[in-house]
Structure 1
Amino acid sequence: MIYGNPPFASIPGGPLPRMNVIADPAHEIQYPDQALPRASVGADGQAIDVSAMAVPVPLTAIDTMRRCLAYRKEHRLTIPELLRHPFLRPEHRDLPAIPPDATTITKSQMALLVNFVLRSNRLPVMSEQDRTAEDLFAQLVDQNSD
């Protein structure tokens, strides 16, 4: 559920039209390189721009989905091939250890978190020039580098 919906969920009309699309060899399945959360409404009732929350979809995930959903069965991954696929067996890199009571966060996630707290308290959200999220992010980076 990388994209937040099962395959073919965007086909309207219920199960029969979906089955017809699945059976159509000419139908091309789209595999976006970014996943977006579903549209949401903030505490103030205003729609939240989810485009800022886009998360990149790993190319290995797209390859896995494409090869599992191939129309011709001879082009699909077998179960043993799938179990050996790089998406299910990622390389282990030497990454810095994160303490058990800590987590990683991106700059954009920090900005979303700050704006969420502001909205929840009925305060104005950060402007483009506001560096609060960047400053908090820098403090976290410094704290985790110790």
Structure 2
Amino acid sequence: MAAPIQKVIRQEPVQSPLESKHPSASEELQLLVEELHQSGILEAARAMLGAKESIAKILVEQLLRKDVLTLINNVMAAGTVLTKLDPGQLERLTEGLNAGVTEANETIERNQSISIMGLLKTLQDPDVNRALQFAIGFLKGLGKTI
């Protein structure tokens, strides 16, 4: 006769890794896919994957247009220029431009004509003189490079 069973080993059912570790994550993933399906985004994404060669061809054609290439080159050139500028100087310049535009708008709103004597008096203003020195220096530097 066989020996009697002394110990009973129970086996627990094994769950999938998604169910056992993160049941809420799998539920959220299912809800996300359902939302994408209901809104039509999932179908559009599948259609785009099916037409990837046509889409790639259109994209390349658009990128190779002369005006797009010019834009890309201009953005790259502007990026190169911006990397050479001192951030402190650029910040002061943009603040000055903002203040200048504000002052110019206020001057236009006053709608006053300026006489020759008024112009000469304005040239003696330290702020105007500093801006003129900056403009002359800018023009000199620009002239050297063009």
**Which TM-score applies when normalising by structure 2?**
0.25
Higher helix share: 2
* Greater Rg over alpha carbons, structure: 2
Higher strand share: 1
